[in-house]
């Protein structure tokens, strides 16, 4: 294309994209008006109004994310037709809703990602826009179908992966590669496992798959939403912008420590204790711990019931316990059965003694009246209540587990390993989360979980009582009328509609606060770290068993984590899970990956490292320092990187000033990384090599290593660097 022709095309494209933004702004005004009207609306039921408010709010959020990169490409067919591709879809309402901008997830947009010179998908040209804000800066074209032509995206892809990193993960909607697109659009109803080494983009592919599923199955998924589980808060902050940037907000982001609302993780288990808690064998311990609290009296409990001496003996409690257990109810709910049996026995004995000589069962009404009086008396008896609390106590999950951890006797009675003992029973760890969640089901509810729902139930009862009082008063005041008008009749649904408060909370906010919320789809990142008990918890959160699982077995650190995917998944989705792998490293340059691959070969020789898509031209280096020199060397790195564009991090073992643990950087990426004391990282437990592998592969441009002792042999590929003065002299 000539320079003049290019400039004319550029002006034309700028005009078209400007028109899209004009249409976008008009849509925003229209939807904002609908939202305001829904908030003030009086028509329909409160539930219908709330649904309208949420739908309008969701559409406002969808439209709000598209300012940057609204339209990023164009496809030209062999017949000369044009299709513009963007973050969201826009339509011409005056022309039978003709699409003026295709959502990147639409089937018609797929050739933008998969067409190649060899398989052009009936396309003649792919055009990629480079934008700044709302302005099209320039564009590049790729003509398809020419023999020997290269596959798409090299220029755009390399520009994206070489760009300095910002504060969070960016979407890849404009540069999705063919192998990624195949996974994103995979319509598998069960569990999809995406495995890939560092930098292969598995996390961002999983998030784009969520956006695709929400687009293609909107009606089925939007009422329940999507759960995304990540390894730590930093990781969730890092990835948190991706789905909103694609117009999706009905997503809950949590760590495994957040999966039980209201619980706060404050401690950390040793690897051995984490392994014990993570195994399914802990289920027997929990069940036994609950059963151990269903006691028989060591001595009969003496009671006075209407002057008759009765007692709760072991035989009575045994019968009541068997009936309660056979009911199949959770422990706290089964207490009602236990209480009912004990109450029946005690009142029967009391009736026989009180009524001897004058009361018989044949006088049924008198017998039952007296029984009712005795039941009421028994319920108000403090000794009886104390006996019930001793024999069948109401147990919150936290109380049961804390007492189990702090009592050698209770732990022994439950068959638990004494390694589980600890001084502070309430110092919860991540490994305790699935155990507490399991106990919620074993024990049942001990108090209302959703106080909002409880308030609404009370309001409903109070409102219904007021309405009925009003109707009775109106009836009493009628002189000649002996009936109510039809307009006076209120049904249960009408009563419910009157008291419901306007709940405008989004789905994510409602779901995150509700332990019993179930999701339509769950994404699990760094899934190799999850234990068998973690998987049991997550499967409860998604009855449909629709998951996208992301991980790399070679990076596993947890003793309770996965050694193979089948072990974790087959018990829940036998034959319903599929495996896909990503083999191209888009993050780690070849120079750094060569060093990391040498380490990988030592601790996971059967794993093939991913192929880096680029080189950065900067050799990763190492430098030996003394203990006294180490702080200054770290400060030097921080100071140098502060003057550069992009992000940086210092990774090291505990005790290194200013350093974070490698586990805290999982899934993250930085322009520059300084790894401190690699020998100490390697020595930190059985998975130290995996920790070091993670640390080495976080950098997108520059990697340095500081070591006090000899450099580990696996890192011999690093270029040894002297002191700053030595480097200056050699230059």
Question: What residues form the annotated binding site for ATP?
Answer: 196-203
Compute φ and ψ for 305, nearest 5 degrees.
-125, 100
Cβ–Cβ < 8 Å for 666, 231: yes
Burial of 274 (0-12, 13-18, 19+ CB in 10 A): buried
Token pair, residue 723, equals 């002191």
Can you tell me the distance from the alpha carbon of 290 to that of 481, in angstroms, rounded to the nearest whole number?
Answer: 61
Token pair, residue 67, equals 């300012």
Give the number of residues written for the chain: 731
Cβ–Cβ < 8 Å for 73, 127: yes
What is the three-class DSSP state of 379? helix
Provide the CA 419 distance to its chain's centre, in angstroms. Answer: 30
Can you tell me the distance from the alpha carbon of 440 to that of 446, in angstroms, rounded to the nearest whole number?
Answer: 9
Looking at the DSSP assignment, which residues form a beta bridge with residue 102?
A: 85
Separation in Å, CA 462 to CA 467, 473, 487:
9, 16, 21
Can you tell me the distance from the alpha carbon of 262 to that of 513, in angstroms, rounded to the nearest whole number?
Answer: 8
What is the three-class DSSP state of 404? helix
Q: Which residues are annotated as a binding site?
A: 196-203
Token pair, residue 253, equals 């982001």
Long-range contacts of 426-430 (CB under 8 A, 24+ apart): 426/398, 426/402, 427/266, 427/267, 428/263, 428/264, 428/265, 428/266, 428/267, 429/265, 429/267, 429/268, 429/269, 429/274, 429/277, 430/255, 430/256, 430/257, 430/265, 430/268, 430/269
Closest to 522 in 3D by CA, of 232, 198, 228? 228
Separation in Å, CA 390 to CA 379, 384, 430:
15, 10, 31
Compute φ and ψ for 568, nearest 5 degrees.
-80, -35
What is the three-class DSSP state of 137? strand
Compute φ and ψ for 685, nearest 5 degrees.
85, 175
DSSP secondary structure letter of residue 657: T
Number of H helices, E strands in the chain: 28, 21
Cβ–Cβ < 8 Å for 700, 589: yes
Cβ–Cβ < 8 Å for 502, 49: yes
In whole angstroms, how large is the CA radius of gyration of the chain? 33
Could you tell me which residues come within 8 angstroms of residue 666 by beta carbon, excluding any fewer than 6 positions away? 231, 232, 235, 526, 555, 694
Could you tell me which residues come within 8 angstroms of residue 329 by beta carbon, excluding any fewer than 6 positions away? 336, 337, 444
């Amino acid at each position: 294309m000539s320079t003049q022709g290019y400039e004319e095309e550029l002006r034309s494209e700028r005009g078209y994209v400007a028109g899209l933004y004009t249409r976008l702004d008009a849509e925003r005004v229209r939807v904002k008006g609908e939202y305001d009207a829904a908030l003030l609306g009086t028509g329909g039921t409160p539930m219908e109004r709330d649904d309208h408010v949420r739908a309008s709010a969701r559409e406002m959020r969808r439209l709000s994310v598209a300012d940057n990169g609204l339209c990023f490409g164009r496809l030209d067919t062999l017949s000369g037709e044009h299709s513009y591709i963007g973050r969201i879809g826009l339509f011409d309402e005056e022309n039978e809703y003709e699409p003026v901008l295709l959502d990147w997830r639409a089937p018609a947009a797929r050739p933008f990602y998969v067409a190649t010179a060899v398989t052009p998908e009936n396309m003649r040209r792919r055009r990629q826009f480079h934008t700044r804000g709302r302005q099209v800066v320039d564009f590049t074209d790729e003509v398809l179908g020419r023999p020997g032509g290269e596959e798409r995206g090299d220029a755009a892809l390399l520009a994206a992966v070489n760009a300095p990193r910002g504060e969070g993960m960016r979407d890849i909607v404009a540069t999705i590669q063919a192998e990624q697109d195949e996974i994103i659009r995979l319509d598998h109803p069960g569990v999809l496992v995406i495995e890939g080494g560092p930098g292969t983009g598995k996390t961002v592919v999983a998030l784009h798959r969520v956006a695709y599923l929400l687009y293609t199955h909107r009606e089925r998924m939007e009422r329940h939403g999507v759960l995304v589980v990540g390894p730590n808060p930093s990781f969730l902050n890092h990835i948190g912008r991706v789905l909103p940037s694609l117009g999706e907000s009905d997503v809950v982001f949590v760590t495994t420590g957040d999966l039980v609302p209201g619980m706060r993780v404050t401690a950390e288990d040793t690897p051995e204790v984490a392994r014990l808690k993570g195994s399914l064998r802990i289920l027997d311990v929990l069940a036994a711990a609950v059963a151990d609290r269903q006691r028989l009296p060591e001595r009969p409990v003496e009671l006075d019931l209407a002057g008759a001496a009765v007692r709760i003996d072991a035989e009575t409690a045994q019968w009541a316990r068997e009936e309660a257990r056979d009911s199949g109810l959770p422990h706290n709910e089964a207490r009602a059965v236990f209480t009912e049996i004990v109450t029946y026995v005690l009142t029967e004995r009391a009736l026989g003694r009180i009524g001897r000589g004058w009361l018989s069962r044949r006088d049924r009404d008198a017998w039952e009246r007296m029984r009712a009086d005795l039941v009421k008396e028994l319920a108000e008896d403090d000794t009886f209540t104390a006996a019930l609390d001793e024999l069948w106590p109401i147990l919150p999950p936290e109380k049961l587990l804390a007492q189990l951890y702090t009592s050698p006797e209770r732990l022994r009675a439950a068959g638990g390993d004494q390694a589980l003992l600890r001084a502070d029973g309430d110092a919860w760890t991540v490994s305790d989360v699935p155990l507490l969640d399991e106990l919620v089901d074993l024990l049942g509810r001990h108090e209302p979980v959703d106080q909002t729902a409880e308030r609404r139930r009370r309001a409903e009862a109070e409102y219904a009582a007021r309405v009925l009082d009003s109707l009775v008063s109106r009836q009493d005041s009628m002189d000649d009328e002996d009936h109510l008008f039809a307009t006076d009749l209120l049904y249960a649904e009408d009563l419910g509609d009157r008291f419901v408060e306007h709940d405008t909370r989004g789905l994510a906010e409602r779901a995150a606060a509700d332990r019993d919320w179930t999701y339509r789809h769950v994404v699990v990142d760094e899934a190799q770290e999850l234990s068998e008990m973690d998987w049991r918890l997550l499967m409860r959160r998604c009855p449909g068993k629709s998951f996208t699982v992301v991980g790399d077995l070679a990076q596993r650190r947890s003793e309770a984590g996965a050694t193979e995917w089948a072990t974790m998944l087959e018990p829940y989705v036998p034959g319903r899970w599929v495996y896909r792998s990503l083999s191209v490293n888009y993050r780690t340059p070849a120079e750094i990956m060569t060093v990391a691959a040498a380490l990988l070969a030592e601790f996971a020789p059967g794993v093939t490292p991913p192929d880096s898509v680029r080189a950065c031209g900067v050799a990763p280096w190492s430098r030996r320092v003394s203990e006294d020199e180490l702080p200054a060397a770290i400060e030097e790195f921080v100071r140098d990187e502060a003057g550069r564009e992009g992000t940086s991090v210092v990774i090291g073992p505990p005790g290194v000033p200013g350093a974070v643990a490698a586990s805290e950087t999982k899934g993250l990426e930085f322009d520059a990384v300084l790894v401190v004391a690699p020998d100490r990282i390697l020595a930190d437990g059985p998975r130290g090599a995996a920790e070091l592998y993670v640390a080495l592969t976080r950098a997108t441009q520059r990697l340095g290593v500081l070591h006090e002792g000899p450099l580990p042999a696996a890192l011999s590929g690093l270029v040894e660097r002297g002191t700053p003065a030595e480097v200056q002299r050699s230059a």
